Chain A
């Protein structure tokens, strides 16, 4: 079946502009995660959605970052007034419901964001 997809694959933007990054999880997966991967760094957790529950936003680095998930499926990560330090690869992952499988994350290809 189809995996997690993300768009765009690459985004170059000017400092101060807003950007939107999109994630389509695997159909039927109830959990959705956003991570940021900076050059030479591990994955930094940003936000986590689980079904209809309130999202865990504890990893968002500032109030310029926000995310929503519509209809329990597609998610959009928005970065307002981008800064150069926002340049990174933004990864989305989803997990199926129930049992031990809910801890297994399936990752998308990522969106490489470059802020100039």
Chain B
């Protein structure tokens, strides 16, 4: 069965610090990869996605993620966080042989201190 792990439960950073949130998945086949974000009091929304091609993908608000197939990883990065990035971040995987089923990680809560 597929699974997704996110290494950090809660990350606390000061503004302007760099961010990297880890995501690893267990599935040996072709995957589609996603990061979703949930700001306080708001819906989950898509941050960025990877289907194929360049393993470095850019999303909204200056976020990017790198797919490293050999490591089964899809880590999320941002060079300089802002207070408004305070949110919960979820990694999700869709294995292409599983149709449109998605497996989500447990989430990482990011707190950015002003």
Contacts and interface: CB of A to CB of B under 8 A. Distances in A.
Nearest to B106: A42
Contact of B49 (A40, A42, A56, A104): A104
Interface string B1-44: 00010100000000000000000000000001010100000011
A106 B100 CA distance: 14
Given A103-B49, A105-B36, A107-B44, 11 more contacts: A3-B43, A41-B107, A42-B107, A43-B104, A48-B100, A56-B99, A56-B101, A91-B44, A100-B49, A100-B51, A104-B49
B72 interface: no
Contact of A104 (B46, B90, B105): B46
Interface of B: 4, 6, 32, 34, 36, 43-46, 49, 51, 90, 92, 94, 99-107
A108 interface: yes
A108 B90 CA distance: 16
A105 B99 CA distance: 14
A48 B101 CA distance: 8
A45 B45 contact: no
Q: Is the interface of B mostly helix, strand, loop or mixed?
A: strand
A109 interface: yes
Interface string A25-48: 000000101010000111111001
A42 B101 contact: no
B43 to A, nearest CB: 5
A66 interface: no
Contacts of A93: 44
Contacts of B99: 50, 56
16 contacts: A33-B102, A40-B106, A41-B107, A42-B6, A42-B104, A42-B105, A43-B90, A43-B92, A45-B102, A48-B100, A50-B99, A100-B49, A103-B51, A104-B46, A105-B46, A107-B45
